């Protein structure tokens, strides 16, 4: 994908999982990549070490903190001299089954989940849009989930946040099209990441894989290719789309 040669890309939550796979794929395609991380500087450094080419770096930022988001975008744009593509991948997945947690824990889970998975992503978009406009356009790719459509009994705030992210992304697609900014969404099902590995390796692993007729779950690399497709500009009329990557484990009508 020569489209990415010379492009400047920011991936939030890029130190592991889908974010790491996307960073590697963008770098292989010629882009300069910045990844954000919240705490694990070692994982971030390891990811940067795997990226082909030069000019890649990591920046520490808590996406739940609005001021940290603003500083991150300014720092990355200054270092790169602009931004072309932003991938909102940072997320949390906190269990809080309504019949089993205290009201206090319920409040915490909702606050923590929404502040990263929805409000944090919205803040990233607000801060980055002026930089994309100055470049004459760009791409925003938001990472959602099949949970936005089918829910999750133990993680209701997660599904709600991702559903909100879908609607937000479609609103942005309308608002930003006149500025030549493409907005797309990738909605994976289960993916073999650190966040899901314990489930996939545990007693429920076979049942999870059986949810798909393929008998498998996606790899981070598969999801990364979907991200690159939407960020490539190959199909600009797809702006506002939600691309499912769930092995037919959930089919929308």
pLDDT at 96: 98
Cα 142 to Cα 169: distance, rounded to the nearest angstrom: 7
User: Does residue 195 register a pLDDT over 90?
Assistant: no
* Confidence class for position 2, pLDDT limits 50, 70, 90: low
pLDDT at 253: 78
pLDDT at 171: 98
pLDDT at 199: 83
From the list 3, 93, 158, 250, the catalytic residue is 158
Respond yes or no: is residue 158 known to be catalytic. Answer: yes
- Section 218-222 average pLDDT: 96
pLDDT in tens, 90-137: 999 999 999 999 999 999 999 999 999 999 999 999 999 999 999 999
pLDDT at 140: 98
- Section 161-178 average pLDDT: 98
Cα 45 to Cα 41: distance, rounded to the nearest angstrom: 6
- Section 230-238 average pLDDT: 96
With the CA atoms of 127, 1, 19 and 143 taken in that order, what torsion angle do they form, in degrees rounded to the nearest 10?
A: 60
With the CA atoms of 103, 96, 94 and 196 taken in that order, what torsion angle do they form, in degrees rounded to the nearest 10?
A: 170
pLDDT in tens, 65-77: 999 999 999 999 9
Read off the pTM. 0.95
Q: Give the β-pairing of 181-188 and 138-143.
A: parallel
pLDDT at 222: 97
């Amino acid at each position: 994908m020569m489209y990415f040669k010379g492009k400047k890309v920011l991936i939030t939550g890029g130190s592991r999982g889908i974010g790491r796979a996307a960073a590697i794929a963008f770098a292989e395609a010629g882009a300069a990549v910045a990844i954000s991380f919240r705490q694990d500087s070692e994982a971030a450094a390891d990811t940067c070490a795997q990226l082909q080419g030069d000019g890649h770096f990591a920046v520490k930022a808590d996406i739940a903190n609005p001021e940290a988001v603003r500083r991150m975008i300014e720092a990355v744009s200054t270092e790169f001299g602009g931004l072309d593509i932003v991938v909102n991948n940072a997320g949390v997945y906190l269990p809080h089954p309504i019949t089993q947690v205290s009201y206090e824990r319920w409040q915490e889970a909702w606050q923590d989940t929404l502040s990263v998975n929805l409000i944090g992503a919205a803040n990233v978009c607000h801060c980055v849009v002026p930089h994309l406009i100055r470049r004459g356009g760009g791409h925003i790719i938001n990472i959602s989930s099949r949970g936005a459509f089918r829910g999750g009994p133990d993680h209701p705030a997660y599904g709600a946040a991702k559903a909100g992210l879908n609607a937000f992304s479609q609103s942005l697609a309308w608002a930003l099209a006149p500025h030549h900014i493409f907005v797309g969404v990738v909605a994976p099902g289960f993916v073999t990441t650190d966040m899901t590995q314990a489930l996939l390796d545990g007693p429920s692993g076979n049942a999870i894989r059986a949810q798909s007729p393929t008998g498998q779950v996606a790899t981070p690399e598969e999801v990364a290719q979907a991200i690159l497709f939407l960020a490539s500009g190959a199909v600009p009329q797809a702006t506002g789309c939600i691309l499912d990557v769930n092995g037919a484990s959930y089919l929308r009508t």
